[in-house]
Amino acid sequence: MTVSNASVTPLAGRAAPDRRTSASRPGTRTKTSEDSLRSRDKSGYLFVAPFAVATGLFLVVPTLYGLWMSFTNQSLTGTGSEFIGFANYAEAFSDPQVWQTLGNTVWFTILSTIPLVLVALVMAVLVHTGLPGQWVWRMSFFAPYLLTSAVVWHLSNWMFQPDIGLLDTWIKGLGLQPLGWLTDENVAMFSIAGVTVWWTVGFNFLLYLAALQGIPAQQYEAATIDGAGGWRRLFSITLPQLRPITGVILVLQLLASLKVFDQIYLLTMGGPNGSTRPILEYIYDTGFTNYRLGYASAISYVFFALILVFTLVRLLPTKKEA
Amino acid sequence: MALADLTDVRRTKALQNRAENRALTKLTVGPSPWARAGALAALVVLAGLWLVPIIWGAVTSFKHEAEAALPASLLPTMGWTLEAYEKVLGNSDLLLWMWNSLVVAVLVTALTVLISAMAAFAFSQTLFKGRGVMQWLTLAAIMMPGQILIVPLFKQMQVMGLVDTFAGIVLPQIVAPVMVFILKRFFDAIPQELLDAARIDGAGSWRLFWTIVLPLSKSILVAVAIFVFIGAWNNFLWPFIITTDPQFMTLPVGLSTVKDAYGVQYAQNMASAMIAALPLLILFMLFQRRIVQGVATTGMGGQ
């Protein structure tokens, strides 16, 4: 849309208004006299320059540099930068560590995303009842999101401590066998997913809450007059209205979960036995512990391909709407 | 008098909110006291679960170190003490890291908001050759997750001599193409007549930007700033990679090195966690409404 806006001269635009970009679309501007006012101004370059320079330097350059690097055997110490073609990519696809960490990442994404959406929904629906204590509920659910990962690590590590931690104390109090929260291969990923839900659910909760506040009261009033009870209103009005936002939150959450690093690196360092190590940690280890920058870049791009699929899904509805 | 007015406004607003909430309760859960009690009970349980780790951490931070290493009792039995806080503030670089975090977060926020708003203004209110291409590129930039770039970006920073500098921590964080689009959408909605009138009066783009567009966009600018600030304050991965010198570490990075320094001093660990958590928690308590709004509007990425 903007491409055509910029290339058509204002006069021609006025003489032959383009029907496809007519006033019915709020995002696009029709060609009117104001564009001729705008067009006289060449300051646009100056306004966009700082952002363009920053983006070029810290996004475009590393993107291309990383791509180039992925075809070399460059190391952190600077040795070896000859072109080795697709060797890094070939190695990545046959590297069991890549598959294992990719599998861990996907497993974590599944384990965390489902509760992160559902629990957020439950919280928002409960708070949206307008029951007293609004400030307290919002505070309790959102506060953990404001903690930095290192604080989350300290708090949860303390909860998970064998014998003296709160979880073990409670479990023993119930007469059950304590779990190896972070030391048992079959349990660690669940513990980390649990920490992640506690930490970040407040964000999705706020997105849901904002969406709920947009539901017109008349709908509830009409349903009440028709004799719909509380549950009926929940399932026939509230939840259907939240369907579009649920899609958005789901994709945003998938993208966020795939990029997991902080809490796993801090809580288990990827252990026990590599069972929680995400792909981002493998990239980090390959680049900064083993100094294999070329190979690390290649894995980054394999990972990027995976993320891109989800990003495109996210951008599609935006395109349709704009 | 002004203060009295303000409290009056606040009181009316609080009353209004309460009435709205009551109406909302009637509309959602209905008049049944059982339904209300059920919903309230669910809220209490959930909120309790969510607060337990923070409260328990806070209580532990006031215990004697000897007691913190014993099986958990919720309240201290050997008495409350500030010992852990004294030790943490005396022995570690906690306050330095906090200061670093503040500097970094403020710089990232100011620069991000400024350059994003300028770019959004250019896209929204000026015409220049290549505008369409640049917008398309900005859209494409949204798809590039920064985490993918850590390896080449670090190497690039090495070449630029920015490892272990504030510039090295801050600059890569100020590229926020999503924010450009959020702001552009807002600027698009500013009435054209207003801007045209100013232009006819001879105002240049620079004046237009500072005296009309920015003041009219205060709400969205605050929202973006809040969102960027929280992100920058809490960012771990990039500062962790770019700093090795404790002198330049931000709070999250410095705090992640604390374990080795203390061994298993749980009370001290909790004390540092509490000190680190406090600034944002206090900000949230003071400006809850604003922050909730800011995160909700910006968090969707402008959708």
CATH number of the domain encompassing residue B168: 1.10.3720.10
Q: How far apart are CA B85 and CA B95, in angstroms?
A: 12
For the ranges B21-30, B62-71, B271-280, the one whose mean pLDDT is highest: B271-280
Decide which of B46, B64, B90 is a domain's last residue: B90
Q: Do B205 and A297 touch (CB under 8 A)?
A: no
Chain A residue numbers with beta carbons less than 8 Å from the beta carbon of B285 are 139
B99 and B245 inside one domain: yes
Q: Are residue B113 and residue B238 in the same domain, yes or no? A: yes
For residue B5, the distance in angstroms to the closest alpha carbon of chain A comes to 24
Same domain, B57 and B13: no
B130 within domain boundaries:
yes
A10: nearest CA in chain B?
A: B127
Asked if A299 contacts A286 with a C-beta cutoff of 8 angstroms, the reply is yes
- B135 part of a folded domain: yes
Burial A37-55 (b: 16+ CB within 10 A, else e): bbbebebbeebbebbbebb
On the question of pLDDT at A21 being above 60, the answer is no
- The pLDDT tens digits of the residues spanning A143-171 come to 999 999 888 988 888 888 877 777 877 88
Are B233 and B177 in a shared domain?
A: yes
pLDDT confidence bin for A316, thresholds 50/70/90: low
Residue B6: per-residue pLDDT: 64
pLDDT at A22: 37
Say what percent of chain A tops pLDDT 70: 84
Domain that holds residue B126: 92-256
* Binary contact (A58, B52; C-beta < 8 A): no
* pLDDT for res B115: 96
Cα–chain center distance at A226: 41
Of A148-157, B103-112, B147-156, B286-295, the range with the lowest mean pLDDT is B286-295
The total number of structural domains in chain B stands at 3
Query: What gap in Å lies between CA B64 and CA B57, rounded to an integer?
Result: 13
One domain, residues B16 and B120: no
Task: Look at residues B60, B90, B120 and tell me which one is the last residue of a structural domain.
Answer: B90
B63 in any annotated domain: yes
- What is the number of other CB atoms lying within 10 angstroms of the CB of residue A122? 16
- Three-state SS across A49-95? HHHHHHHHHHHHHHHHHHHHHCCECCCCCCCCCCECCCHHHHHHHHC
Residue A14 scores a pLDDT above 70: no
- Taking CB atoms and an 8 Å cutoff, what residues of chain A touch B94? none
What local confidence, expressed as pLDDT, does residue B106 receive? 96
Smallest Cα distance from A67 to chain B, Å: 9
| Chain B residues with beta carbon closer than 8 angstroms to that of A157 | 269
B72 has pLDDT over 70: no
B51–A51 C-beta distance less than 8 A = no
Q: What is the DSSP letter of A174?
A: T
Burial code (b: 16+ CB inside 10 Å, e: under 16) for A163-187 equals eebbbbbeeeeeeeeebebbeeeeb
β-bridge partners, A72: A83
In a domain, B280, yes or no: no
Q: Which residue among A61, A150, A293 places its CB closest to the CB of B236?
A: A150
**B11 in contact with A at a CB cutoff of 8 Å?**
no
Q: What is the ipTM of this complex?
A: 0.88
> For domain A90-321, is the CATH number 1.10.3720.10?
yes
Chain A neighbours among B 239-258 (CB < 8 Å)? Answer: 241, 251-256, 258
> Do B210 and B178 belong to one domain?
yes
Ordered by start, the domain boundaries in chain A are 1-30, 90-321
Range with top average pLDDT, A221-225, A277-281, B73-77: A277-281
Q: Say if residue B199 is in the same domain as residue B71.
A: no
Asked if B11 and B138 sit in the same domain, the reply is: no
Instruction: Using the predicted structure, report yes or no on whether residue A121 has a pLDDT greater than 60.
Output: yes
| Residue B245 token pair | 């010198």
pLDDT bucket at A35, cuts 50 / 70 / 90: low
Residues B46 and B20 in one domain: no
Average pLDDT over residues B36-54: 91
Do A139 and B288 make contact, defined as CB atoms within 8 angstroms?
Answer: yes
B53 chain-A contacts, CB cut-off 8 A: 144, 155-156, 159, 166, 198
From the list B151, B285, B288, the residue facing A293 with the nearest CB is B151
- The reply to whether B237 and B141 lie within a common domain is yes
Q: Which residues contact B301 (CB under 8 A, 6 or more apart)?
A: A252, A314, B142, B178, B181, B182
Position B269 in a domain? no
Q: How confident is the model at residue B153 (pLDDT cuts 50, 70, 90)?
A: very high
Q: How close does chain A come to B202, measured CA to CA in Å? A: 11
Which of A106-110, B14-18, B116-120 is predicted least confidently? B14-18
pLDDT of residue B11: 77
Q: How far apart are CA A74 and CA A29, in angstroms?
A: 49
Mean pLDDT of chain B: 86
Q: Is residue B189 domain-shared with residue B243, that is, in the same domain?
A: yes
Q: Let me know if residue B263 belongs to a domain.
A: no
Q: Is B159 contained in some domain?
A: yes
pLDDT digits 0-9 by tens, B1-32: 456 666 777 778 778 888 888 888 877 777 78
Is pLDDT larger for residue A321 or for residue A46? A46
Q: Is residue B275 a part of any domain in this protein?
A: no
Listed residue (A92, A97, A265, A276) closest to B252, CA to CA: A265
> What is residue A41's predicted lDDT score, i.e. its pLDDT?
62
Query: What residues in B contact A128, CB-CB < 8 Å?
Result: 24, 28
- Are B62 and B129 contained in the same domain? no
| pLDDT surpasses 50 at B116 | yes
* pLDDT of B240 above 90: yes
- Whether residues A151 and B172 touch (CB distance < 8 A) is answered with no
